[in-house]
Amino acid sequence: MPRQSFRGLSLARSAVVLAVGALLATLFAVPASAADPVGQITGLGGKCVDVAGASNANGTPVQLYDCNGSAAQSWTVAGDGTLRALGKCLDIVDRGTADGSLVQLWDCGGGANQKWVVNSARDIVNPQANKCLDVKDRSTANGARLQIWTCTGQSNQKWTAAGTTPGGGNPSGFVVSESQFNQMFPSRNPFYTYSGLTAALSAYPGFANSGSDTVKRQEAAAFLANVSHETGGLVYVVEQNTANYPHYCDPNQSYGCPAGQAAYYGRGPIQLSWNFNYKAAGDALGINLLADPWRVERESAVAWKTGLWYWNTQNGPGTMTPHNAMVNQAGFGQTIRSINGSLECDGRNPAQVQSRVTNYQRFTQILGVAPGNNLYC
């Protein structure tokens, strides 16, 4: 399905710092009160903020560790701005403010070294030091120590509550909240609405709703990463190279091109093109897109449905649908092969492949999940 592709746009990092009460609404999606349950907090590699050995002794290291649902990984946020586990507080050793100052568990004393806020980029910040909670040496190994460090915007400083919907409430039930969607696509065209996307989900209820929570988030990130690449970060609704427009009518099809020779150009999040694809997508969705392909550029939900149609039902130049590639853990690279592998995979265009992979890695970070294996094709 040839299409015009665009590299994704860089994510603008907001410097707005929110009060700790907003931490719950933006990062953990639970209502603020005197002491609210957060549960697991995931970071680099999809691992959890963990109290070593589940000990509540003063000075116990706080580290990164495989998520296991234990009390050592069950955090609450208190009204005084502290993060607590096992009845004690997340604390900066020796009240340090320098890069590399380690964090530990300690009796809650109300000191500035136990106060934390979160900004809109999902950094957890100690205001006194003006530094971010950070994974030492960017390690994903079990036992990697947590520390504070100058805020860099890197993935080892990004945090999400694994058991909730980060970024705010999400009535749709989709694993990507509206605030996360906006974070992924800060410069998107207003045509590509979040409500249009969630309205389209009913057409393919298995999408981002199959397997474990990790698989669901990985699939959502994979779909949106490819979409971002195809549309320049959801900027472009239609293919930009108008010279290609007359090329997408295959006259050998019995139904021809009733909307016109040049009517079947790339549109929407996967840049649907060719008369036979408009026919197949329309038949599957119960929409006469062969006669009226312009609906894909007029109606947000219809555009999103065509993207989900391709993702969930078409192998393209690959050997499996992108949906099956993610659900069966074949890896993100197989989604690239199914969408544009004949032009990009096996060394044909490594820069385009890298663009898609970079988008996917960024989006999995936003969703607080590891990207998995086999990222390239």
Report the domain count for the chain.
2
| 153 shares a domain with 202 | no
Q: How many CB atoms lie within 10 A of CB 323?
A: 24
Q: Quick one: tokens of 284?
A: 């599957």
Helix (H) and strand (E) counts for the chain? Answer: 10, 13
Q: CA 71, CA 51: separation in Å to the nearest integer?
A: 9
Is 166 among the domain residues?
no
Rounded mean pLDDT, 71-77? 83
Residues 94-148 pLDDT 10s = 999 999 999 999 999 989 999 987 665 677 888 888 889 999 999 989 999 999 9
CA distance from start to end of the chain: 17
Q: Which residue is it, tokens 């690279």?
A: 333
Of the chain, the percentage scoring pLDDT greater than 70 comes to 85
| 244 shares a domain with 349 | yes
Q: Which residue is it, tokens 């003063």?
A: 58
Q: Which of 113, 134, 161 lies at the terminal end of a domain, its last residue?
A: 161
Q: Which residue has the higher pLDDT, 225 or 27?
A: 225
Indicate the average pLDDT of the chain.
85
| 107 shares a domain with 251 | no
What pLDDT does 205 receive?
A: 86
Residues 286-323 pLDDT 10s = 999 999 999 999 999 999 999 999 999 999 999 999 99
Q: CA 209, CA 204: separation in Å to the nearest integer?
A: 9
Q: How many CB atoms lie within 10 A of CB 29?
A: 20
Is 223 among the domain residues?
yes
For 270-303, give the DSSP string: TTB-SHHHHHHHHHHHT--TTT-TTHHHH-HHHH
| 240 shares a domain with 91 | no
Q: Which of 161, 188, 216 lies at the terminal end of a domain, its last residue?
A: 161
What pLDDT does 118 receive?
A: 67
∠ CA 32-35-41, rounded to 5°: 80
What pLDDT does 252 receive?
A: 94
**What pLDDT band is residue 340 in, cutting at 50, 70 and 90?**
very high
Q: Which of 161, 189, 206 lies at the terminal end of a domain, its last residue?
A: 161
What pLDDT does 10 receive?
A: 24
H/E element, 85: strand 83-85
In this predicted structure, the answer to whether residue 364 has a pLDDT above a threshold of 80 is yes
Nearest of 72, 277, 68, 39 to residue 159 by alpha carbon: 39
Q: CA 144, CA 187: separation in Å to the nearest integer?
A: 35
| 349 shares a domain with 257 | yes
| 102 shares a domain with 28 | yes
Is 168 among the domain residues?
no
CB 67 within 8 A of CB 162: yes
Q: Which of 178, 230, 239, 344 is catalytic?
A: 230
In this predicted structure, the answer to whether residue 68 has a pLDDT above a threshold of 80 is no
Interacting residues of 68 by C-beta distance below 8 A, sequence separation 6+:
48
**What pLDDT band is residue 152 in, cutting at 50, 70 and 90?**
confident
Alpha carbon separation from 211 to 162, 298, 326, 367 (Å, rounded)? 16, 34, 10, 16
| 295 shares a domain with 355 | yes
CB 43 within 8 A of CB 158: yes
Q: What are phi and psi of 62, to 5 degrees?
A: -105, 130
Is 12 among the domain residues?
no
| 203 shares a domain with 151 | no
| 114 shares a domain with 211 | no
∠ CA 67-182-284, rounded to 5°: 90
Q: CA 106, CA 337: separation in Å to the nearest integer?
A: 50
Region of residue 346 (phi > 0: left; psi between -120 and 50: alpha; otherwise: beta): left
Q: Which residue is it, tokens 């996967």?
A: 270
pTM of the shown model: 0.58
Nearest of 150, 159, 132, 136 to residue 46 by alpha carbon: 159
CB 41 within 8 A of CB 75: yes
Is 171 among the domain residues?
no
- Rounded to the nearest 10 degrees, how much is the dihedral formed by the CA atoms of 69, 31, 197, 188? -110
Domain span at residue 363 reads 178-367
Alpha carbon separation from 228 to 97, 129, 235, 308 (Å, rounded)? 39, 36, 9, 14
| 141 shares a domain with 223 | no
Instruction: For residue 317, give the CATH number of its domain.
Output: 1.10.530.10
| 231 shares a domain with 133 | no
Is 10 among the domain residues?
no
CB 124 within 8 A of CB 116: yes
Q: Quick one: tokens of 27?
A: 């990062």
Q: What are phi and psi of 237, to 5 degrees?
A: -90, -35
For 91-115, give the DSSP string: EEGGG--STT-BEEEE-----GGG-
What pLDDT does 120 receive?
A: 54
297 catalytic? Reply is no
Instruction: For residue 124, give the CATH number of its domain.
Output: 2.80.10.50
Between strands 160-161 and 41-42, the pairing is antiparallel
| 271 shares a domain with 196 | yes
What pLDDT does 167 receive?
A: 35
CB 33 within 8 A of CB 23: no
Residues 8-39 pLDDT 10s = 222 222 222 333 334 443 444 333 334 445 67
What pLDDT does 157 receive?
A: 87
Is 117 among the domain residues?
yes
Is 6 among the domain residues?
no
Rounded mean pLDDT, 188-203? 91
Residues 162-186 pLDDT 10s = 433 333 334 457 899 888 999 999 9
